[in-house]
Amino acid sequence: MNETNFSSVSVTQLKKVIVGFIVAVIGASLLWFVLGFRINVPQNKILVLTKLFGKNPAQGSIVSIDPSEKGIQYDVKSEGWHWFSSFVWKREIYPATIVEAKELGVLVRQYGKPLSNGDVLASSLDLNIAKATDTRGVVAEVLKPGKYNINPYAYKIVKFPVTEVPAGHVGIVIDKTGKDHPGFDYLAVKSKRGIQKETKNPGTYYINPFVNKVIPYNIRVQKTDFDHTSAISFMSYDSYEIKLTATVEWRVDATRASEVYARIGSLEEVQNKIIVPFARSYCRIIGAKSLAREYISGDARQEIQVKFKEMLKNKAMEHGILISSVLIKKIIPPLVLREIINKRGLEKETREKLLKDIEKVKSDAQVAKRKEEIKQSQARVEETILKRNLLTKVKGNRTIALKNSNKNLAIAKVDIKTAEVEKATVVAKGEADLIEEFNRKKADAEALRMEVLSFGNGKEFAKFHFNKKIAIQKVFTNDDSPIAMMLNQFGASSTQNKGVK
């Protein structure tokens, strides 16, 4: 009985042990499967796989182009769960390539064939596949801002800031990878190494710094001052040393910026090599043509400024520089002439003081005149008011006078009619008297005519009446006076004439 019970217990325990062992084996297998095959790739990470078994890759190859070859695989896996046995694959997690804003990524290929003699850049980029024709070196294409899953064994990523050409600038492009251009030209033609003629406008550019270099070049207006120790000195025509201070405003011609940079250099070099030396030279040439006193009086100031600007403008234009303005601020004569200027300055101050006094007197006179005008204006207002009052009174008087006038007019009309009747009566009476007088005068004239005819003619008639009135013929009969002789002769001739008749 006891033996039977012992056998039953032993078999039961054995079964439990066997079942437990099987469960443990299955659990261990599952755990090994999970830990040995599964791999989790975190966010912004990549999985690089190295195959431990397979055919050998080409000698010197860093990554395996063919997936059947052992070694580092070109393709990578992105974030998430992946199942690869650790017995077959070596699993490595690396950060993904992230290019931030205002950055660019330059790829340096670490696998492939070596570059041919004379080549600078590697073959073109294709991140999706590795080709047997790929060459090692810097790839021309760049990575713009973003996230990229790139095998760190296949490519090395070098980050650079983007190229920015600010406003008021142009970008000077220097080609680093082209072939050497023939000749001694300052600028290289397109696809040739050196400074390119074409420039970049203001903006942001993703340019590979191993391929091209872009230099922002300021084309805004610059100012060069000739003041204090840098004042321009020259000799006048009469050998006096004259100094002047001036300001020259200039800028680089945008269409010739590449040429200016290649031939001259930076803006500081433009100022030191073009603006300053030519400005001093032309001032000496122009200034030597005028006398010192002409600079004191100011007669030569405008002339030298105009000629100075014209000569400097023409010369600077030859070098691609545009002159915006030239301003001569101050002309400083020598000490001996400066004393004369100071003396004249005192005289000028005295003259200006007198002029100010005169202006004050004029101003006072204007004030007085204005006050008088105000008084006159008030008087005119009062006069206008008085006229209006008088006009109102006159209008009333005129109404009364008009009534009296109408009354007098009616009386005058009656008087006029009476005067017209009287006039007609007077005229009729005058006409009658006139006719009567005319008839009387006519009768007297007719009687006189008949009397004259009785004497024969008017002369005898006149003689008769003449002798009758003066009665002196007898007095002068025996007188020998000329009058008596004339009378006698007149009388004799008359008698003879009568006898003849």
pLDDT tens digits, 231-248: 988 888 888 888 889 999
The highest-confidence range among 279-288, 356-365, 431-440, by mean pLDDT, is 279-288
The string over 72-90, giving b where at least 16 C-beta atoms fall within 10 Å of a residue's C-beta and e elsewhere, is bbbbbbebeebebeeeebe
User: Which CATH fold topology does 219-333 show?
Assistant: Tetrahydropterin Synthase; Chain A (3.30.479)
* Mean pLDDT computed over 6-25: 70
- Over the stretch 271-324, which tens digit does the pLDDT of each residue have? 999 999 999 999 888 888 887 777 766 666 777 888 888 999 999 999 999 999
For residue 488, CA distances in Å to 196, 455, 491 come to 150, 20, 5
Which DSSP state fits 65? Answer: S
pLDDT at 344: 61
The highest-confidence range among 89-93, 298-302, 382-386, 482-486, by mean pLDDT, is 89-93
276-287 helix and 301-318 helix, angle to the nearest 10 degrees: 140
pLDDT at 223: 95
394 or 39: which leads in pLDDT: 39
**Cβ(249)–Cβ(324) below 8 Å:** yes
- Over the stretch 153-199, which tens digit does the pLDDT of each residue have? 999 999 999 999 999 999 999 999 888 777 678 888 887 889 999 99
pLDDT at 106: 96
Which DSSP state fits 228? Answer: G
- The number of CA neighbours under 13 Å toward the Cβ of 189 is 5
Q: Is the pLDDT of residue 141 over 80?
A: yes
Q: For the chain, what are the domain ranges? A: 20-161, 163-217, 219-333, 458-500
